[in-house]
Amino acid sequence: MNRTEFMQAFQNALYDVSSEERDAALQYYNDYLDDAGPEKEEQILEEWGSPEKLAQSIRGGMSGRQENGEFTEHGFSDGEEKFVPARAAEQKQESQNPPPVEKARKKAGMNIWKLLCIVLLCVLLGPVCIPIAAAAVAVIATIVLLIAAVLLLFLVIGLVVLCSGVAIAVGGIAKLFVSPAGALILFGCGLLVTAVGGMITWLFGWIVMKSSVCLFRAAVDLCRRPFHGKRRGGAKQ
């Protein structure tokens, strides 16, 4: 929007202002642009904002003005309070709010203080927390080892029963020509013991394998969590 279009729209926006005040406003802002020169017209028009908002600031200043009220480059002033157009109001608000760099510096300072507090807390609570953590790790490790030992014991028992059943069955076959009836009974018992031993061996072997895989995955996940915790948190959010 050039100067002519701006002033025309500004004049139209002051439809509810008296002709004397409207002419005075148009005269003031035209003179202001003339004094600034053509090279600064575009910059000044951007600072004033839209013609409607400039006209609104004029009407707002006139509604409660005193006798010493006057037009300024920021709107109409009654000597105490200035009614600034939109662009000037935005610049004033930006000057009151700290810039992003300043916010980043304050945030970095707060993070440093938080880090120092955490380090100090670790130093103070270290003598108490480290033994407790070590004891908890020892208890957990003991429980895991105890469970693994029990599972391995049952696995060994299954292997022993399996081998015993095979031995009994082989013994029954060896006595087949000496005592056929006794040999068949012995062979049948051997097969039964072999089946029981095989089931025990397979069951606890499967439990040991599954437990080992679960423990390995838990250990890997525990080691990876400090490096991927932030990414997972961001994804959840």
What are the domain boundaries of the chain?
A: 3-96, 137-228
State the alpha helices, DSSP H only, in the chain.
Answer: 3-13, 19-36, 41-48, 51-63, 86-96, 100-174, 180-236
Checking if the pLDDT of 107 tops 80, the result is no
Cβ atoms of 160 and 197 closer than 8 Å: yes
**pLDDT on residue 102:** 55
Token pair belonging to 146: 């105890």
Task: In whole angstroms, give the CA distance from residue 186 to residue 169.
Answer: 6
Task: In whole angstroms, give the CA distance from residue 203 to residue 31.
Answer: 99
Cβ atoms of 51 and 6 closer than 8 Å: yes
pLDDT digits (tens, 9 = 90+) for 109-162: 667 888 888 888 878 877 777 788 788 888 888 888 888 788 788 878 888 888
Task: In whole angstroms, give the CA distance from residue 39 to residue 3.
Answer: 12
**pLDDT on residue 132:** 84
Coil, strand or helix at 120: helix
The single residue listed with the structure tokens 């017209």 is 41
Coil, strand or helix at 136: helix
Q: Greater confidence, 230 or 166?
A: 166
In this prediction, residue 88 has a pLDDT band, given cuts at 50, 70 and 90, of: very low
DSSP string, 29-88: HHHHHHHH-GGGHHHHHHHH--HHHHHHHHHHHHHT--TT-EEETTEEE-SS-B---HHH
**pLDDT on residue 104:** 60
- 82 torsion bin: left (phi>0), alpha (psi -120 to 50), beta (else): beta
Q: Is 139 exposed, middle or buried (0-12, 13-18, 19+ CB in 10 A)?
A: exposed
